[in-house]
Structure 1
Amino acid sequence: MLVTETIEYLGLHEAIEGTPEAAPSNGRDSTGLLPYFDPVYCSDGSVVSVDNVVLRYDVDMSFGDSSQYVEHLLTKFFADGSWAKIYRNNWGGKIKSSFKARVGKGSFWLGVSDEMPSGELWKSAIWVDFNPNKVGEHAGLQALIGMLHDAAKSVGIQRFDIAHDFPMERDRVMMGKDRKSYEWVRCCGAVSEALGSRGKPGFSRLYDKQAKEKLLSPLTRVEMTCKGDWTSSDIRERAPEIIAFSKVREKALGSTRRHITYKEALAAALSWLESLEEPVQTLLVRLEPEARKATISLMSDERLPCFPEEPVTTAVDAMKRRWLE
């Protein structure tokens, strides 16, 4: 695929002419919009990437010494003062001291927790929470992580988010699995769907990346929160079913035949709902499971290959090499 086509798929403002070798390194475009870090481009034009990582470093230091060490590293690598100490109750309420550092338009968090029972103050853990797509290339963050590697007795990935971006309009895509934990909310003027418990492994979101990032071309994102030790098989097993709707509305409204099919009638009804700015999802989630399944089958062209094994394996392996070695 030419780079011009890839840039168009990703909804970027400017196209970069030429072959893939002429593209900016690491999948980052020339405008700085929608950056990727170690992306994996799929044959259908979609992109798989790791969108968030939480690293844990176990250190043989007291809670106080660990906090001072983190402040020392931030002062050393972010001398411009673009960081602050902020209390943040996160990671199960274990964090006693936390810091936020700004990197360009992005940011990342560090936390220090006391991991020993009362009276044993020689062991603690340092956590780093960041989005590689936004801050992974920053030299200061990479140097800080390198120093933590040297100081830690052990290091691991606590959790990460895997993202899959499709060059499609948001209203043509929906989640197809029926679960009690399903919900939809309005975000950036568009409808977002979610499955599972927020922040827990397996939690998945489907939302309009074009609206969120103010892109010129359609882009819909699926995200899943994963345990740090999950493999591509674990992700595939828990991946939500993503359905692409057929564009039957245009056929229904333009039909001049005497007999109108159920499919065309359904399309006309859904178009009417859309004219009232009522999300189609609100109708579908009210249907009984069998009726919902039948309705979706009438409307859908295909099931999108969400989180395919080979691209996900490549993305996860690259994440582990990058941040654990």
Structure 2
Amino acid sequence: MRTERNLTRLDRVFARLDREPERPAHIDVPRMSRHRVVLFTATLAFYLAIVWAVVITSWLVRLDWLVMFFRPYQQWSEIHWFVDYYVVLGQRGPTAVMVAAWLGWRSWRQHTLRPLLTLGASLLLLNITVGAAKLGMGRLGPHYATVIGSNEMGLGGDIFPSGHTANAVVTWGILAYLASTPRARRWLSAASAVTSLGVGLSTVYLGTHWLSDVLLGWAAGLLILLALPWCEPFIARAETWIFDLRDRWRAGRGRTVPVPVPVPASPVVLKPRSATAGDAPAPEREPVSQVRSPRTPIHLAPGPHTARSERTPVTPAGSRRPQHPERQPRGGTAQPARPLTGG
């Protein structure tokens, strides 16, 4: 009785590492549904409300100052070392490299550039929107505050909204956005939410951002994730253009020179040149045969074959061996010497 072998965990890992023969058909591209439009509108309203609350120096600014005076890094100093490492999950360089490595493997395995192009589009939107907001509002951070109770806006700072928080939301949320199954999307959404929440609170703990900076960073990152379906047509066009460019490059690199087809030569007859005074008429050439006659074999000059020991070495200056008139070659009778040159 034949039984199938149960697959171990290592077998399942290697099976997942194998490259799929073609792009999987079950991977769906998110679209801008009505539910997503409602979430985008609500998040945008929340974004604008936070900006307005900070501009008018409302209760949110007073809460920022209360948290700053509380100095969490002094109240819970025993976790300072952990927070210093954890906040790296919001830095753009390390997180982008880690996520790009994972999405690069997925792109290679699934024969599609959509994961990498989506990551690039999201980071581009992040740099444009968050960078413009930082430079436009120019808010100073807690360590550089000048007047107690003020909103510190328009003083040349670049911390509003929090770039660490927005980057954590986008970088880790893109994994949930590109998930292949609903179950994976739910788990990755929860994991990215917890990670970005921890990164934002870490910046507040370290005193590098106000609490309102973190709230605006969460809203900014979520807006980018919700707006990504609007970028899908451009991502598809970019993918098609890159693949077409690759195919043209491969075709140009593997191009071979066409081999000319041999055409049988037709017999050519040269007409005699018109005779002039003092010139003899040129004879008529015979037609060239289409099939060339085989070359006649080359035969050696006639003569007996002698052994190497009986041959006289020949140099340009003559023979170096003394003459022995009494020496007879092998074979009994003397044979006439072969001429060195023809004639």
TM-score (norm 2): 0.24
Bigger fraction of residues in strand: 1
Bigger fraction of residues in helix: 2
Q: Rg larger in 1 or in 2?
A: 2
TM-score (norm 1): 0.25
